[in-house]
Structure 1
Amino acid sequence: MHKFKELEIWKQSKLFCSDIYNLTSSFPDHEKFGLTNQLRRASVSIPSNIAEGTSRSSNKEFCRFLEIALGSCYEVETQLLISYDLGFIKPESLEELNLKINAVIKMITRFKSTLIQPDKSEF
């Protein structure tokens, strides 16, 4: 069992979530229940699923929650691109957030690979 507060992937994804909240606070009011809500929910899902996965009894179960967190990363990435297309995000903000979300994606992927052990019964 892992202590989620000690995991760098959890720390970085939590900071990224704060970045998303700060960014979306400047979105138009008519997007409150649209992209603002979607981006916030997807970004909250990333550290939340990492934390929930740490409570599971096996690495296989934990990996499933890391996969869900990765899915949320890709949701956020897509929603940021749509927000940019609609003029809600400046190019430099998009670039900065893309760098951050891609770093989180790489961290989750690397960490997940350390949890997966080959099945010794196959040998």
Structure 2
Amino acid sequence: MAPYERFEAFRLCHELALTVYRETAFFPKAEQYGLTSQARRAAFSAAANIVEGSVKRGAAEFRRYLDISLASLAELGYVIRLAHELSLLDGDQFAQIGAAHTDASKATWGLYASMRRQTTKQPTA
């Protein structure tokens, strides 16, 4: 098992990326280098930064990669909202991606908080 596979945040971000790739396959060709590319890059980045951070030395460095993952998730949240408001995603698609996005974001925040606790200095007596 790869180091990143033990994290629920990775699994949920990976599932989110798969969903985003599937749903954006039907976006208009005019959006190939716009919203399609942006959504896919943000979804990929969320998972990929967990992968990369998981092999770094120490919780502080891993947390830096989780911070990037969280920023990518925030970006993706806006991209899917915009796609929905432009009628590129219907209500069901938006709800499906939105639920996956929420789950991935919560899990990644949880992992970030866990790494933060590991890097907090303990008071000395």
Fold in common (TM above 0.5): yes
RMSD: 1.5
Alignment of 1:16-27 (within 5 A): 16-27=16-27
Aligned residue pairs, count:
122
Q: Which amino acid aligns with 1:110?
A: G
Which residue matches 1:119?
121
The offset of 1:121, in angstroms, is 4.3
Name the SS for the 1:97 alignment partner: helix
Which residue matches 1:12?
12
Q: Which amino acid aligns with 1:120?
A: Q
* 1:52-106 CA distance string (max 9 Å, x none): 0011111011001001001000111100011011110001211121111111111
Distance 2:61 2:90 in 1: 39
Name the SS for the 1:120 alignment partner: coil
Which residue matches 1:79?
79
Which residue matches 2:42?
42
1:100 aligns with 2:81: no
1:89 aligns with 2:89: yes
Distance 1:20 1:114 in 2: 27
Distance 1:38 1:122 in 2: 47
Q: Which has the higher contact order (CA 8 A, sep 6+)?
A: 2
Q: Which amino acid aligns with 2:62?
A: F
Distance 1:116 1:19 in 2: 29
Distance 1:122 1:68 in 2: 32
The offset of 1:12, in angstroms, is 1.4
| Cα separation, partners in 2 of 1:19 and 1:67, compared to 1, 3 Å | same
Name the SS for the 1:116 alignment partner: helix
Distance 2:46 2:74 in 1: 10
TM-score with structure 1 length normalisation? 0.93
The unaligned stretches of length 5 or more in structure 2 are: none
Distance 2:115 2:29 in 1: 43
Distance 1:12 1:23 in 2: 16
